[in-house]
Chain A
Amino acid sequence: MMSRPSLLACMAATSWLLIAGDAVAGDADAITASNAWIRVLPGDLPAGAFANFTNASDHAVALTGASSIRYGQAMLHRSSTEGGMGRMETVDKLEIPAHGSAKLSPGAYHVMLMHAKPAVVPGDNVVLTLSFADGSHKDVTFQARPANAL
């Protein structure tokens, strides 16, 4: 049996580890990602990353960005073809409603990935670290798929 002081020390150490660790407890824990993939384009052209998210918590969670050691830059974007014009805009967040779902999908919200190093090819698994509004993070593995994947 553990003495009370050492139990306390243990708890302190554990919580410290939780804070220091990459997966800080928070909104990220409520989010489940599925069907995460990247459309790979030839050369050093920017790629789009897509995924479905569900939020198990009772409050809305905002995805605010992403990063990856495989890409120089990652930005949250939204494309649209409203009014017959194809255009793209930078957005601050993708809201995932309480007990609901939202997705990054072709022709809509997506993460634009630029300057892969080394080049990402179809079949690769690429980890993106997703950031949420409360400062929490989540690592999600995205599968690289060919340019003409749907």
Chain B
Amino acid sequence: MKLPRAWVLAFGLTLALLAGCHHEAQPSWRLTDVSGHLPDLAFKLTDDNGKTVTAADYRGKVLLVYFGYTHCPDVCPLTLAHLHVVMQRLGAKADDARILFVSVDPARDTPQTMHAYVNAFDKRAVGLVGPDKDIEALAKRLRSAYTREPDKGDGAYDVSHSSAIYLFDRDGKARVLATPSASQDDMVHDVSLLIDLGAKA
């Protein structure tokens, strides 16, 4: 039997639409959905091994991006400790995710200090450093902000910074946003979903 050409076309289109629908079906996030509201991840920075890296180097991994600095004695360690527990709870799946800890303190954070710091929290955490302009560009891209506070006397100073955790899918697309007080259950749920989404390529 020969189907009319128009029917074949229509059938094909329907299939394509269905496939499209299926792909666009929104996972039921528990955190704040930011899909389509933030640009894709893009940066050129130095990792904690001293290597120049770009966002493309992490394609294929689900990314948890967090801005902070090593002289931050409380909020940053607390957030990274939470992220470590999230990774632990993901078990073997966590190999498909990375924590990117971006320093907002270019004056003090070096690849070496970042290396010791991130590894004290999780072996799947990467520390990223770069000149002020490159960090600022990434922060702006993600609608994030940071401010170096006045010196406290002996050269010590704090850096106020956005406390959000940005979750990117394997294609580098921003998908959900978490606050540092987000529950570990919700974080595990959404990171797990992101890992399950797989990559387009």
Contact = CB atoms under 8 A, between A and B. Distances in A.
Interface of A: 39, 41-43, 45-48, 77, 79, 81, 84-88, 90, 106-107, 110, 112-114, 146-150
A147 B81 contact: yes
A45 B75 contact: no
A10 B179 CA distance: 62
B113 A148 contact: no
Interface stretch (B16-24, B65-73, B167-175): B65-73
A110 B74 contact: yes
B75 A88 contact: yes
A88 B40 CA distance: 31
B72 A86 contact: yes
A39 B76 contact: no
Given A148-B81, A148-B120, A85 B70 contact: no
B55 interface: no
27 contacts: A42-B120, A45-B70, A45-B113, A46-B73, A47-B73, A77-B74, A79-B75, A84-B163, A84-B164, A86-B79, A87-B160, A106-B77, A106-B78, A107-B74, A107-B75, A107-B180, A110-B74, A112-B73, A147-B77, A147-B80, A147-B81, A147-B120, A148-B77, A148-B80, A148-B81, A148-B120, A149-B81
Interface string B123-167: 000000000000000000000010001001000101011111000
Interface string B74-101: 1111111110110000000000000000
Q: Interface centre among B72, B78, B85, by most A CB within 10 Å?
A: B78
B28 interface: no
A86 B81 contact: no
Contacts of A47: 73
- Minimum-distance CB pairs A-B, first 10: A147-B120, A42-B116, A86-B163, A87-B160, A46-B73, A86-B75, A81-B163, A106-B78, A79-B74, A148-B81
A80 B157 CA distance: 16
Nearest to A90: B152
B26 interface: no
Given A147-B120, A150-B85, A41 B160 contact: no
B121 A148 contact: yes
A149 B179 CA distance: 19
A148 B121 CA distance: 5
B158 A88 contact: yes
